[in-house]
Structure 1
């Protein structure tokens, strides 16, 4: 029997005290919320927290689960959390070209990837959390 190989990723919608969300401009994908792959022996929440700090310089606290997004074709699963900033300074990393907090309206205009845009929209409907989205 062949052992399955799945890709597990996590990200966070980080909102500041003005309800602006934190976005990074990835060199390849454009504007998006911070996130990435979960390491071996790392919890999903810790993966999201680590990715936010690595990509933005901001330490965050996970507040809630926004949704779980499975792509069966790619054998991948993405967990999206809602988080608030605790400390840190905005800083670039080697994968990013831009970083900042933006209104939801600004963010939706800036984000070009449909999947990312849909997830940011999900983050604005707290009464529907958590989402479960399965893409075959």
Structure 2
């Protein structure tokens, strides 16, 4: 399924759904960040996805990281909540989703890097090399906030 992101675009279609979702800022002992290349739009992102009924939000983080990357992770804390109504995602099936994403910091606890049906590449990336990747501005904001360990409270916006 393809996806087009609209960010404060006056020509964006109106949202017809909101799905609580998560992204995980997973950093290894060397400080590298776990990144995926999405199969739906080709862009690089943090692993994540939609929250399913019957699971806790931390279970969603662990499940999504494992499904998309093969890495087992443990949630540390929340770095931000992102609900900008000016960011909508249009999917091939007609769904136009308004952003509602919670970014969690997590650490790897095991597993082996692998791709999935949702990822074409999975890599551990040094923070200095993140600038070279094609990352959507809203995802880059999540990464910047998660890397900022001086924050005393999560970003909410």
Residue in 2 that maps onto 1:107: 130
Asked if the contact 1:7–1:37 (Cα under 8 Å) also holds between the matched residues in 2, the reply is yes
Residue in 2 that maps onto 1:26: 38
Residue in 1 that maps onto 2:53: 40
Within-5 A mapping of 1:90-129: 90-128=113-151, 129=153
Residue in 2 that maps onto 1:82: 105
Number of positions where the alignment pairs a residue of Structure 1 with one of Structure 2: 129
In structure 2, the gaps of 5 or more residues are: 1-16, 87-96
Displacement of 1:77? 1.8
CA distance in 2, matches of 1:31, 1:124: 17
Question: Which stretches of structure 1, 4 residues or more, deviate above 6 A after TM superposition?
Answer: none
Asked if the contact 1:31–1:110 (Cα under 8 Å) also holds between the matched residues in 2, the reply is yes
Displacement of 1:61? 0.6
- The structure with more helix, counted as a fraction of residues: 1
Aligned partner of residue 113 in structure 2, secondary structure: coil
CA distance in 2, matches of 1:58, 1:101: 11
Asked if the contact 1:14–1:85 (Cα under 8 Å) also holds between the matched residues in 2, the reply is yes
Displacement of 1:111? 3.4
Aligned partner of residue 127 in structure 1, secondary structure: coil
CA distance in 2, matches of 1:60, 1:112: 22
Displacement of 1:109? 2.3
- The range that moved more, 103-112 or 72-81, is 72-81
Q: Deviations over 1:11-31 (max 9, x none)?
A: 110000001000011121411
Aligned partner of residue 51 in structure 1, secondary structure: helix
TM-score normalized by the length of structure 1:
0.87
CA distance in 1, matches of 2:83, 2:47: 18
Aligned partner of residue 12 in structure 1, secondary structure: strand
Q: Deviations over 1:78-117 (max 9, x none)?
A: 1100000001000110121111101112123203311111
